[in-house]
Amino acid sequence: MHKVLFVAVMVFSNGLSSNGIGLNDTARPKVVKIGALLNFNTTVGKVAKVAIEAAVEDVNNSTILGETKLQVTMQDTENSSFLGMLDALSLMDGETVAIIGPQTSATAHVVSQIADEIHIPMLSFGATDPTLSSLQYPFFVRTTQNDLFQMAAIAEIIDYYGWRDVTAIYVDDDHGRNGIAALGDKLAERRCRISHKAPISPSLSRENIRNELKTANSEESRIFVLLAHADWGLEVFSVAQDNGMTGSGYVWLVTDWLASTFDTNSSISPEAIGGVQGAITLRMHTPDSQQKTKFVSGWSKLTRDKMVNGTGLNTYGLYAYDTVWLLAYGIDAFFKQGGNISFSQDPKVTEQHRGKLKVDEVRIFNGGDLLLHIILQVNTTGVAGPIKFDSDRNLIHPAYEVMNVNGKGFKRIGYWSNYSGLSVVPPETLYTKPPNRSSLSQELESVIWPGQTKQKPRGWVFPENGRQLRIAVPNHVIYHELVSVKGADSFSGYCIDVFTAALSSLPYAVPYKLHAFGNGINKPKISELLQLIEAGVYDAAVGDLAITNNRTRIVDFTQPYVESGLVVVAPVQKLNSNSLAFLRPFTPMMWLVTGIFFLVVGVVVWILEHRVNDDFRGPPKRQIATIIWFSFSTLFFSHKQNTVSSLGRFVLLIWLFVVLILNSSYTASLTSILTVEQLSSPIKGIESLVTSNDRIGFQRGSFAENYLAEEYNIARSRLVALNSDEDYAKALKDGPQKGGVAAVIDERAYIELFLSTRCDFSIVGQEFSKSGWGFAFPRDSPLAVDMSAAILKLSEGGELQRIHDKWLQRSACSSEGAKESINRLHLKSFWGLFLMCGVACLLALLLYLIKILWKFSNYSEDTEPSSRGTSSPGLQTFFSFVSEKEADITSRSKKRRMERTSKKVRGGDESPNCSFGNSNEV
């Protein structure tokens, strides 16, 4: 392509003249020539021509270039890439330093290659094609917004309203194709997609438009994205209106051409305005400023002076005006940095390449690289906002206004910016805050949709091909309460009732037909059914379809209408006939600790009461019997010994509280054991099965097989496929020793139905996987979303529970009372009580010891020196003191003090012979 264009340059440059003048480095030229490539008779071209001429006049009347003036030569490309190339060559005559334009992306793709060859910067205010990149076209500078951002804005609007599939209608040229490709990429980032493309011929054939729209209307999606040229986009709406595609239920998202059309033309027919009612369009956002206000207010005078009365100002006109000023700032900096305007012959153009063609005048702009670099470094503010380029050569702060066509004009419903997404406040306000792209921060005002409705359109319908949805139903072998297939057109069961109830709650009719999947002998494999949905054989599946991770990669499931996970069912034995059932409320450890505490409390109370309470005195055998009797009689609150010490009463009070709790808990647990059926099984759950080598049963076709093999590494040789509930019962009764299974693993919903009539089996352990049942649809199916909402509505209204009770009401065998083991009382449930009692005993003993030591010290001081000798009282003396009754010691101490007092009065030296006496009490 590059070589072809280069040949074209040589052919059509024959006769182009150039004065070949090299300018003095120290002096600026009087005139700097620039060119402009426009489509004069288009909506954008009319406005751009006036804006560029006005900008050149303003630059020449300013002091920015000193004595130098800009001279612009405009060429009308007449919307032709071929003519655009010729016009570009006519401007590249050895004097033009830059070109404003081309106006269209298609022309820019062609002309940019010529500009790259001769180093002339091209500043386009209208070529928005994202593929006009700086890498492929280094001398192309986009001075308007890149369509990449416009497509990002449209994708965010689609995601904001919750739509997933869109139909793209676009002009079939570089601009249209590349724009829609960018839209597809942005939609994919949000898990949306273009489900149908409708390319329109650039020749604008009404018949072609009608055929493409008819095909698009036969698809499911009712979200239409229209990327067109401003001068024939309304023609698409006209045909769409004739086809009935602009009424209620349709959504039209239109690129900025519609806003430009309305802004420029004040004489749009009422029929055309009526056809676009309710559409959402974008307009490039240009912040308010004094410069913009001044330029907009003077626009009417400009159009009168240029003899184009009635032409309104659009955003492309603002960017065209700023492009001239950008170029002026660049040229001024170019001269300040020592640049000069000079041209030289292209060394590639030799006699060998030219042949007989006279292309000697084809010249390269020697300062083109410097001028391009300077232009990209300009940082200023124009009427359209900041003029500054980022690293990708895009203008900074890309933003759009989101407009809703309402009446004869627009209603602005919000903004979009690359900084913070959708909002109802201007982007300039958000630039001062941290960026926030969370879904909760995205916001738009209310919209009047096509058909003058405020209700958001669903965005899709069933295709207009008259085909009913093919709904597959697994043909069950067992559990006909869930799904029962009695004939080609006879289906019943819990799953079928939920499906039909959900469909009835939808705001639209769904044509469908149920088809049995499976032979009714063996349970069909759900994985195969889901693959048929993915292949398009079926449109959906209804039944007991467990939602698993692997399956969600194939299809989309609705909201679960049944919570169901894998459980273990095993044979159980009744335990309530055991003669030792009265021991079951407590675990062995609980019994042991309780017995120890009975004895400990008895000993502590005996210690605290022994010196002051006759009930706790006597011969050793009697005292031991007292301790044991007192301890265990507190269990029934029938102890006959009274406590007289404060510490003894404190300990006994705490202990009686503990006994009360233990007694109440024991009574409640024993009552449950003797009145409620308790079941026992050697299998305690999935853990005990994993560690054993026993065979395990599962329902044939269930996901349980792969789940057990992959998640728990159970050998597949241990897994036994079972077809029916009779197979379940037989395999469980036979057990592993007789070729059966130790347990069966299946989903809870199935097992509850199985147990409803079989009381010899029960669920053991806990449910070890969480899943649910849902209806399956193809990936990204909008019907799956609506059905999920319908299922939630059924659940909130109680209808889902009513259907459940109708089909799946359980009997006593599968009630919550049937458990695999006794809920025994463990020590961990009472350790707080025992700790409290232990602390009370230790505290009482500590206080008692302190009190005894203090009394023993006082008693020792009352002893006569002749009796005490010179040594301290011995340990045997202390124990004798502790063992003796406190009243006797107190009486003897009092008597000694009286005798010493009497001797002091007589002046005698005798001391009474003190002794503890021979008491028979221990």
> What single string gives the DSSP state of each residue in 14-65?
TT-----PPPPTTS--SEEEEEEEE-TTSHHHHHHHHHHHHHHHHHHHSSTT
Q: Which residue has the tokens 């000993």?
A: 603
| Contact by Cβ (8 Å): 361, 16 | yes
What pLDDT is stored for residue 122 in this prediction? 95
Phi then psi dihedrals of residue 107, to 5 deg: -70, -35
Give the max Cα distance, the chain: 164
* CA separation for the pair 670, 652 (Å, rounded): 26
Helix (H) or strand (E) run with residue 865 in it: helix 865-868
Q: How far is CA 320 from CA 45, 70, 296, 719, 879, in A?
A: 10, 15, 14, 75, 114
Tokens of 737: 């020793």
Single-letter amino acid, residue 884: E
Tens of pLDDT, residues 814-852: 444 334 344 567 777 788 888 888 888 888 888 878 877
The series of mean pLDDT values per 10 residues for the chain, 922 residues long, is 38 34 58 92 91 95 92 88 78 84 90 89 94 89 96 96 93 92 94 93 88 91 92 90 92 95 88 92 95 93 82 94 96 92 74 49 84 95 95 94 92 95 94 88 94 91 74 85 84 93 88 88 86 93 91 93 89 64 77 84 79 70 76 69 76 83 80 61 82 90 88 91 88 89 90 83 85 91 90 92 83 44 66 84 85 73 49 61 66 68 59 42 38
Domain 31-144+288-387 and domain 147-286+398-441 have a common topology:
yes
What pLDDT is stored for residue 225 in this prediction? 97
* CA separation for the pair 400, 381 (Å, rounded): 18
The sheet carrying 761-764 orders its strands as: 719-722, 696-699, 743-747, 566-571, 761-764
| Contact by Cβ (8 Å): 138, 358 | no
Domain spanning 147-286+398-441, CATH class: alpha beta
What pLDDT is stored for residue 409 in this prediction? 87
What pLDDT is stored for residue 913 in this prediction? 45
Do the bridges between strand 96-100 and strand 31-38 make them parallel or antiparallel, or are there none, so unpaired?
parallel
Q: How many CB atoms within 10 Å of residue 528?
A: 11
* CA separation for the pair 511, 539 (Å, rounded): 11
What pLDDT is stored for residue 920 in this prediction? 39
Report the chain's terminal Cα–Cα distance, integer Å: 123
Phi then psi dihedrals of residue 773, to 5 deg: -105, 140
* CA separation for the pair 390, 412 (Å, rounded): 28
CA-CA-CA-CA torsion sign (199, 205, 208, 214): positive
What pLDDT is stored for residue 662 in this prediction? 82
* CA separation for the pair 425, 442 (Å, rounded): 11
| Contact by Cβ (8 Å): 220, 226 | no
What pLDDT is stored for residue 241 in this prediction? 93
3-class SS of residue 568 = strand
3-class SS of residue 194 = strand
Q: Which residue has the tokens 């009145």?
A: 675
* CA separation for the pair 771, 749 (Å, rounded): 11
The sheet carrying 512-517 orders its strands as: 512-517, 469-474, 540-541, 776-777, 556-557
Single-letter amino acid, residue 826: H
Over the range 595-627, which residues count as b (16 or more CB within 10 Å of their CB) and which as e? eebbebbbbbbbbbbbbebebbbeeeeeeeebb
What's the topology of domain 31-144+288-387?
A: Rossmann fold (3.40.50)
* CA separation for the pair 540, 130 (Å, rounded): 39
Instruction: Compute, in degrees rounded to 10, the torsion defined by CA atoms 295, 411, 400, 431.
Output: 90
What pLDDT is stored for residue 907 in this prediction? 57
| Contact by Cβ (8 Å): 125, 100 | yes
Helix (H) or strand (E) run with residue 184 in it: helix 174-188
Classify residue 847 as exposed, middle or buried by CB count within 10 Å of its CB (0-12, 13-18, 19+): middle
What pLDDT is stored for residue 916 in this prediction? 38
Q: Which residue has the tokens 């612009």?
A: 72
Where along the chain do its domains lie?
31-144+288-387, 147-286+398-441, 581-675
* CA separation for the pair 438, 297 (Å, rounded): 39
Tokens of 423: 């909002």
